[in-house]
Structure 1
Amino acid sequence: MRPITLLPLTMAALALTQPAHADQQSVRERASFNADWRFMKGDPSGGADAALDDAKWRKLDLPHDFGIEGPFKQEYQGETGKLPWWGVAWYRKKFTLPAGDAGRRIHLDIDGAMSHATVWVNGKRVGGWPYGYTSFRVDLTEHLKPGAENTLAVRLDNPPDSSRWYPGGGIYRNVWLVKTAPLHVAHNGTFVTTPIVKADAATVDVQVTLDNKGAATAAQVSTALYALDAAGRRTGEALARSEASALTKVGAGRQILLAQSLELKQPRFWSPRTPQRYVAVTTVSEQGRVVDEVETPFGVRTVSFDAARGFFLNGEHVAIQGVCMHHDLGALGAALNVRALERQLEILKEMGVNAIRTTHNPPAPEMLDLADRMGFLIVEEAFDAWRLGKTPNDYGLLYDEWHEKDLRAMVKRDRNHPSVIMWSIGNEIREQGEPEGWKMAAHLADIVRSEDRTRLTTAGFNHVVSGYNGFQTAVDVVGFNYKPWEYPKFHQSAPQIPVIGSETASTVSSRGEYFFPVSDDKSKGQANFQVSSYDLTAPPWASAPELEFKGLDDNPFVAGEFVWTGFDYLGEPTPYNADTTNVLNFTDPAARERAARELKELSKLNIPSRSSYFGIVDLAGFKKDRFYLYQARWRPELPMAHLLPHWNWPERVGEVTPVHLYTSGDEAELFLNGQSLGRKKRGPRDYRLRWDDVVYKPGTLRAVTYKQGKPWAEDTVQTTGKAAKLSLTADRDALLADGKDLSFVTVAITDKEGRTVPRTSNPVRFSVSGPAELVATDNGDATSHVSFQSPERAAFNGLALAIVRTKSGKAGPIVVTATSEGLGSAKVTLNSKP
């Protein structure tokens, strides 16, 4: 069987820099435009007028999410986080444009604004974009006043009932001011591919779209290739240079496409293990004068999907070990912070994750930059709904007018990232059940292919019928959501089509919560709006992780899986969720009717839950037990063992308290207070080891694991003493004084011996001295309605988190202090450097 092979494109985000040329005014400048905005929630009269007095408006820097500021309210929808993210909001900024910029083109790039953004400059409307996840550009040039003060105004109108999860509100991604000559590379106007890749050389093709906003002229383009270091900086001399293109006429107000081809000797391939990148530096000249220069990072790699054997990267079979991720950053909300994103990826990397599905929308550009640099495969998704929406005011209202614009914008922005391996055109879209729905899928897939022929298309299908009614021919790779039993059936019906688990498991749990008796019935294990961490509980359409593991192991043609989800996120607190759209996960009419009845009854409850239980890691970034189940599977070479539950059960003395072990070993012996409780060997489809008849008595549980008969790893859990003190640890103690860098500081409630005491909920107060500020606290408890900005946070099962941000331009030592009544205080010292 022939595999479906992608042209071996790669690339990373389009980075725009200002080169050192004699005529600085003529070349491109790209600068952050995040500082010193004025903000107002509401819709004042004359919000766009330059003469409006906004001095009393709140002053802030972007990115900004007004929804995360709360307050939480019980009457707000739990599906969207019980936070006030909807409504009209205005952002205004006054700035002086240097007189020397007369004659240049001035662009405003907004990476994301939630939602229905409209932009004015000096009272004149200049553009906007409704879909809150799309990056867009507006041209300010014609209405600016060089050498004078200008006023920029952005109005957002975030409709209620427009999302199934917490979307955030505000200009929540970065904003840039870009200055170019009239003749310049168009927005997202470079496209680098590597159509021929061999060990000794790769052909690098560079397509450049020139945009001429001035008089007719003649242009030349040349490109040079450089290696990038791990931080994305150019290293060494140029590895290849093109000849300058022939002098090409560009008409007034016209765009032209130019192409160049270079040979890169001895290329180093990009992969999750070796994320080597290069950069194509493209220079545009007009009448012998450099007028523009752009840098396009890229990578060299080949990607293919084989319907019989799975996924191949650079000719090597790679199992996709992926998670789905929503875009919020927990206590920080939807407002982008690169360090917070990086921390999430570091934790996922430790677990063994090599792939992320950006559910269910395009991510921030910085997410893909990090994926390129750190080595993650990305499936980038465009939409959660097409014309048939899932909530009253969602993308279904925009689809007809905007789907093509949004899809093209996504692909053109991100097609240079080596991390992106597939484009997903939709998630569980309702048109799956419509007779003509496959035609919509084919239409969207064709739009993608018209912009990028180097990658395949996919979609997340939750209706079995969608795999057999034409949808399977509309996309290149069929993604099944929660249907591992369908893998062999579909493969038999369409052996030529690759398959992936696009959304899997949806196991739910609360960190540190364990309920008894322990049952394999996935509907059990729920109490007090928490879910047991024995990792056996799941919604009706979903399963414990092992069902998907077995489906993949029994069907090795499946390329891998994307677990729902890597981290907990705001909103969708299933199983305590009255969101009736969940009934769409059922294709059987009787099952759908039963689910609808259950959800109707659930909607009558006074449910406090405001964030999900799906995460393998909780909202604060603390690992749940499930982290180690996936680590054992995804990092089989890592000696590891993890016992659960904790061993503080004074009320259970003499009662059966099952013990489970997650390990990358193949055999283990369990000891309680030195007495063996038996040695167990893992069978071919066993993914955890269980001792279900352990009778609780306080003391020490110890597991000794083996692999191929040799000692492998050990884990111990002990009955602790009473809570006696606090322990503080920071994820990083060396920070940058840039006003953005973060340290995530964990407080643990411990006994006198320093062991974390489970089931503790002591209130902790945080304070910060030095050149930093406390920006958020959390504990991972999905039912907590304490403001994320509160300096006081009760521990949840022994842990709480403080997030500390540096102050711009202010270096020096930072001291974070945690205090709790009866437990004293603890401190950790950080250092902010210039």
Structure 2
Amino acid sequence: MQPLPRLAALAAFCLAALPAAFSAAAADGPRERLSFNADWRFHKGEPAAGKADDGAFNDAAWRKLDLPHDWGIEGPFKQEYAGETGKLPWWGVGWYRKHFTLPADDAGRRIYLDIDGAMSNATVFVNGREVGGWPYGYASWRVDLTPHVKAGGENVVAIRLDNPPDSSRWYPGGGIYRNVWLVKTAPVHVAHNGTYVTTPQVASDSALVNVQVTVDNDGADTDVQVATEIYALDKAGRRTGAAVARQDATAAAKVAAGKQVQLTQALAVPNPRLWSTEAPQRYVAVTTVTSKGRAVDQYETPFGIRTIAFDAQRGFLLNGKRVPIQGVCQHHDLGALGTAINVRALERQLEILREMGVNAIRTSHNPPAPELLDLADRMGILIVDEAFDMWGEQKTPNDYHRAFPAWHEKDLRTMVRRDRNHPSVIAWSIGNEIVEQGKPEGWKVAAHLAEIVRGEDRTRPTTAAYNHVSSGYNGFQNAIDLFGYNYKPHEYGKFHASAPHIPMYGSETASTVSSRGEYFFPVSDEKSKGLANFHVSSYDLSAPPWATAPDVEFKGQDDNPFVAGEFVWTGFDYLGEPTPYNADTTNVLNFTDPVQRAKMEKDLADLKKIAIPSRSSYFGIVDLAGFKKDRFWLYQARWRPELPMAHLLPHWNWPERVGQVTPVHLYTSGDEAELFLNGQSLGRKKRGPRDYRLRWDDVKYQPGTLKAVTYRNGKPWAEDTVRTAGAPAKLALSADRDKLQADGADLAFVSVTIADKDGVPVPRTHNRIRFSLTGPGEIVVTDNGDPNSFESFQSKEKNAFNGKVLAIVRTRAGAGGKLVLTATADGMQAAKVVLESTAAQGR
């Protein structure tokens, strides 16, 4: 998949903006950042003969593909695959090779390969020579190709990955799964991630913007200067109007060959437009580097002007205003698309989460793709940027603990330097549920990591996610600036009383589990109940031993208003970790409390007796295909209180339950509601101060129409109705967008709903749906959101899961036109959706 054209357009725009002085010599020519994703060759495993790192190696028989690429998502699923990582073959050795020609006038320029992410233990070879690499699969890193490439001739880059088994607790993917770039600069240039923009003073009439620039000199001894202009950006990231601030060139600084120098400028932006979650307004700092009076580089740094603070009494403050953190944790896979980054797929996830009321994401448990932060900046979403899931102590035998001693500082500094100009980033997390919490000297590691972060950025707090109660009292609480508790709503008050000066938040909360559209009876408030047929009831009351229903966390937050907010586990379902149906649950038993540990071991052992491994999690508020579970509306009711909304559950198709008690729950932002069954009132209920759902627990099922009428302050507010459906009769298709770009990367997500003859959704259907497409595009994957579906994602047909299926359509690069997706099923009326693909114009 290629990156969406707005990234390429931005690169082209940067080049067009460079001054004429750059035309003086090729070696001092303009900076170029070119997509390096196209036309690779791939081979899984070691080649049978020859050395794949040799530039002359014959790779003609290897598979042709474009990056980003995740080899694991192609399957097949196999039950015998060990662990809880999705039952997909993501581990092993893989080779990627690319032949490319550098123009002759690149002689004298610096040539770099920037890799946003490769899973994992990458080694890079150029023309038969090893030139670099990086072990951490979530890191973004650079290799200097200059001494090894030939300008005016053909070159070969080969990248070997070695993804060991037992190296992850969830599905990590395999391959070069993020974007790759070829960067060309003059010998004197802005260093990799070499700008640092801060806004130390912000007022309504003026903001002080400091721009620190690190300049590398890979040529002869020289002098350098920098000058900066600041422009406002529109929503699409384009400059608007003239520069709002300008600082002329600094005094010339001498820099020796092979050295670097830091130069700083301060600019005043009048009447600044502040970045916020409601209005994510941005600027760009355009830095021009000159050497001996000639411009040699220009570098653009998007940023935002805003103030942030975490206060131990008031929570999180954005531009001086308290903003409750309404967050979710997100793993990095894109469901059926795997881990291969796609901007539109990420954007769709964020759009769905924003609809629910989400304003924050914790990147669990690793540095995210750069594109996620770009989208968060543009959409006004707060980010807690997380570095590690473990330190020196393992969670799985081959995980990051092996690289931690030698690489943790490089990885941490690389993450902070890459991400510190993003206004969306509000905190740096140094770790998640690390085993060292239980070690007497473990806090010293936390303090060491926090100091590394502060050495790169002091404008944001350091934080960590702690799942041990003891971490609030054994020194870990003092090692970081912002304390995060995982699944401890009952501890908020105790911690605050012991450390009233330390701000805190729920770094991981709830972990409620459910399967979309599944409801089991009788309904129990015991969190260990509601499990059947390898599914979990969607009454939203079930949770693993360490977790709670959402209502419990809500109460913990409301009873302790000093808590800054929460990050729910998780926004979307993800591949792997199918709790409570885990194949191997030992990695969650890292509790020091013997009573709690013994209870967990017993509960989990009982589950393992009946469990088979599922492919994906049950934690998501949204399922793997992007379909909303009932919990979506529970959180929306809380997080968007001014939105008139009501949502009833369960569905109302229970022919086997006529006359039996079938509890009804209502999620609403109203404060009172009346329930009607076939026009007869079943009672009016008013929400209490700690009621987060309204319940009618004694409703006896009769087919027909169930309706809720809600009120707010005594006035009508919102309604919801569920009806008993007839037999499946037709398919209904709905695309998230019908206008696409013919760039080879843009996607349409097409939902299929099975309906009766009157168009009422039929919820308990699992019919086989077949897809076909005409026009310049392809059906990339299909999914249904069922955690127990082991059919290939690449299949063009899929069984519905509780009445729904998803097909993802991708455009063809350079080929515009009409795309028609058709869905068919035996005994039902077929349906079509028409999409239009046009030449890429940038978005």
Q: TM-score, normalised by structure 2?
A: 0.97
- Which 10-residue stretch deviates more, 69-78 or 213-222? 69-78
Q: CA deviation at 1:597?
A: 4.2
Q: CA deviation at 1:604?
A: 5.1
One-letter identity of the residue aligned with 1:36: D
Deviation sequence 1:258-282 (CA, Å, 0-9, x none): 0000000000100110000000000
In structure 1, C-alpha distance between the alignment counterparts of 2:613 and 2:142, rounded to whole Å: 40
Q: CA deviation at 1:601?
A: 5.1
Match of 2:43 in 1: 40
In structure 2, C-alpha distance between the alignment counterparts of 1:601 and 1:402, rounded to whole Å: 40
Match of 1:445 in 2: 450
- Which 10-residue stretch deviates more, 582-591 or 140-149? 582-591
Deviation sequence 1:800-827 (CA, Å, 0-9, x none): 0000000000000000010111113110
SS at match of 2:638: helix
Tell me if the contact between 1:579 and 1:599 (Cα under 8 Å) persists in the aligned partners.
no
Match of 2:278 in 1: 273
Match of 1:628 in 2: 633
In structure 1, C-alpha distance between the alignment counterparts of 2:272 and 2:561, rounded to whole Å: 31
2:96 to 79, 87, 91: 91
Tell me if the contact between 1:777 and 1:792 (Cα under 8 Å) persists in the aligned partners.
yes
SS at match of 1:203: strand
Tell whether 2:385 aligns with 1:380.
Answer: yes
Tell whether 2:680 aligns with 1:675.
Answer: yes
Tell whether 2:311 aligns with 1:313.
Answer: no
Q: CA deviation at 1:715?
A: 0.2
Tell me if the contact between 2:191 and 2:214 (Cα under 8 Å) persists in the aligned partners.
yes
In structure 1, C-alpha distance between the alignment counterparts of 2:184 and 2:763, rounded to whole Å: 56
Match of 1:470 in 2: 475
Match of 1:584 in 2: 589
Match of 2:348 in 1: 343
In structure 1, C-alpha distance between the alignment counterparts of 2:174 and 2:610, rounded to whole Å: 27
Tell whether 2:537 aligns with 1:532.
Answer: yes
1:665 to 661, 670, 673: 670
1:293-308 mapped onto 2 (5 Å cutoff): 293-308=298-313
- Any unmatched runs of 5+ in structure 2? 1-6
Tell whether 2:321 aligns with 1:323.
Answer: no
SS at match of 2:830: strand
One-letter identity of the residue aligned with 1:43: E
Tell me if the contact between 1:78 and 1:610 (Cα under 8 Å) persists in the aligned partners.
no
Q: CA deviation at 1:21?
A: 3.3
One-letter identity of the residue aligned with 1:702: K
In structure 1, C-alpha distance between the alignment counterparts of 2:280 and 2:434, rounded to whole Å: 34
SS at match of 1:80: coil
Q: TM-score, normalised by structure 1?
A: 0.98
Match of 2:19 in 1: 21
SS at match of 1:703: strand
One-letter identity of the residue aligned with 2:103: P
Tell me if the contact between 2:634 and 2:668 (Cα under 8 Å) persists in the aligned partners.
yes
In structure 2, C-alpha distance between the alignment counterparts of 1:583 and 1:479, rounded to whole Å: 18
Equivalent residue pairs, number: 823
Q: CA deviation at 1:586?
A: 3.5
2:235 to 230, 233, 236: 230
SS at match of 1:79: coil
Match of 1:557 in 2: 562
SS at match of 2:158: strand
Q: CA deviation at 1:606?
A: 5.7
1:350-365 mapped onto 2 (5 Å cutoff): 350-365=355-370
**RMSD of the TM alignment (CA)?**
1.3
Tell me if the contact between 1:27 and 1:290 (Cα under 8 Å) persists in the aligned partners.
no
Deviation sequence 1:19-66 (CA, Å, 0-9, x none): 443334322000100000000000124011111110110000000000
In structure 2, C-alpha distance between the alignment counterparts of 1:479 and 1:334, rounded to whole Å: 27
Deviation sequence 1:497-527 (CA, Å, 0-9, x none): 0010000000000000000000000000000
Q: CA deviation at 1:247?
A: 1.4
In structure 2, C-alpha distance between the alignment counterparts of 1:595 and 1:606, rounded to whole Å: 16
Q: CA deviation at 1:375?
A: 0.6
One-letter identity of the residue aligned with 1:607: I
Match of 1:743 in 2: 748
Q: CA deviation at 1:599?
A: 3.5
2:66 to 39, 61, 66: 61
Tell me if the contact between 2:395 and 2:587 (Cα under 8 Å) persists in the aligned partners.
no
Match of 1:9 in 2: none
Match of 1:733 in 2: 738
In structure 2, C-alpha distance between the alignment counterparts of 1:600 and 1:36, rounded to whole Å: 49
In structure 2, C-alpha distance between the alignment counterparts of 1:95 and 1:805, rounded to whole Å: 27
- Any unmatched runs of 5+ in structure 1? 1-11
Tell whether 2:33 aligns with 1:30.
Answer: yes
Tell me if the contact between 1:270 and 1:301 (Cα under 8 Å) persists in the aligned partners.
yes
Tell me if the contact between 1:78 and 1:611 (Cα under 8 Å) persists in the aligned partners.
no
1:139-218 mapped onto 2 (5 Å cutoff): 139-218=144-223
1:563-602 mapped onto 2 (5 Å cutoff): 563-584=568-589, 586-600=591-605, 602=607
SS at match of 1:829: strand
Q: CA deviation at 1:285?
A: 0.9
One-letter identity of the residue aligned with 2:643: L
Tell whether 2:783 aligns with 1:778.
Answer: yes
In structure 2, C-alpha distance between the alignment counterparts of 1:143 and 1:486, rounded to whole Å: 57
Q: CA deviation at 1:587?
A: 3.5
Tell me if the contact between 1:731 and 1:744 (Cα under 8 Å) persists in the aligned partners.
yes
Match of 2:4 in 1: none
Tell whether 2:642 aligns with 1:644.
Answer: no
In structure 2, C-alpha distance between the alignment counterparts of 1:599 and 1:138, rounded to whole Å: 46
Tell me if the contact between 2:188 and 2:218 (Cα under 8 Å) persists in the aligned partners.
yes
Match of 1:461 in 2: 466
Deviation sequence 1:429-449 (CA, Å, 0-9, x none): 000010000000000000000
Tell me if the contact between 1:28 and 1:292 (Cα under 8 Å) persists in the aligned partners.
yes
In structure 2, C-alpha distance between the alignment counterparts of 1:690 and 1:251, rounded to whole Å: 73
In structure 2, C-alpha distance between the alignment counterparts of 1:191 and 1:183, rounded to whole Å: 18
2:424 to 416, 419, 422: 419
In structure 1, C-alpha distance between the alignment counterparts of 2:474 and 2:613, rounded to whole Å: 41
Tell me if the contact between 1:162 and 1:395 (Cα under 8 Å) persists in the aligned partners.
yes
- Which 10-residue stretch deviates more, 40-49 or 525-534? 40-49
In structure 2, C-alpha distance between the alignment counterparts of 1:86 and 1:129, rounded to whole Å: 17
Deviation sequence 1:775-830 (CA, Å, 0-9, x none): 00000000000000000111000000000000000000000010111113110000
SS at match of 1:696: coil
Q: CA deviation at 1:608?
A: 4.1
In structure 2, C-alpha distance between the alignment counterparts of 1:71 and 1:606, rounded to whole Å: 21
- Which 10-residue stretch deviates more, 316-325 or 592-601? 592-601
Match of 1:393 in 2: 398
Q: CA deviation at 1:234?
A: 0.8
SS at match of 2:647: strand
1:703 to 705, 708, 712: 708
Q: CA deviation at 1:77?
A: 3.3
In structure 1, C-alpha distance between the alignment counterparts of 2:591 and 2:692, rounded to whole Å: 28
Tell me if the contact between 1:572 and 1:611 (Cα under 8 Å) persists in the aligned partners.
yes
One-letter identity of the residue aligned with 1:65: D
Tell me if the contact between 1:303 and 1:312 (Cα under 8 Å) persists in the aligned partners.
yes
Match of 1:3 in 2: none
Q: CA deviation at 1:581?
A: 3.7
In structure 1, C-alpha distance between the alignment counterparts of 2:83 and 2:552, rounded to whole Å: 29
Tell me if the contact between 1:432 and 1:438 (Cα under 8 Å) persists in the aligned partners.
yes
Q: CA deviation at 1:637?
A: 0.1
Tell me if the contact between 1:736 and 1:806 (Cα under 8 Å) persists in the aligned partners.
yes
In structure 2, C-alpha distance between the alignment counterparts of 1:740 and 1:414, rounded to whole Å: 25
Identical-pair percentage: 74
In structure 1, C-alpha distance between the alignment counterparts of 2:399 and 2:592, rounded to whole Å: 22
Deviation sequence 1:201-229 (CA, Å, 0-9, x none): 00000000000111111111100000000
- Which 10-residue stretch deviates more, 242-251 or 592-601? 592-601
In structure 2, C-alpha distance between the alignment counterparts of 1:131 and 1:738, rounded to whole Å: 30
Q: CA deviation at 1:662?
A: 0.1
Q: CA deviation at 1:133?
A: 0.2
Match of 1:693 in 2: 698
Match of 1:125 in 2: 130
Deviation sequence 1:174-213 (CA, Å, 0-9, x none): 0000000000000000000011100000000000000011
In structure 2, C-alpha distance between the alignment counterparts of 1:232 and 1:202, rounded to whole Å: 20
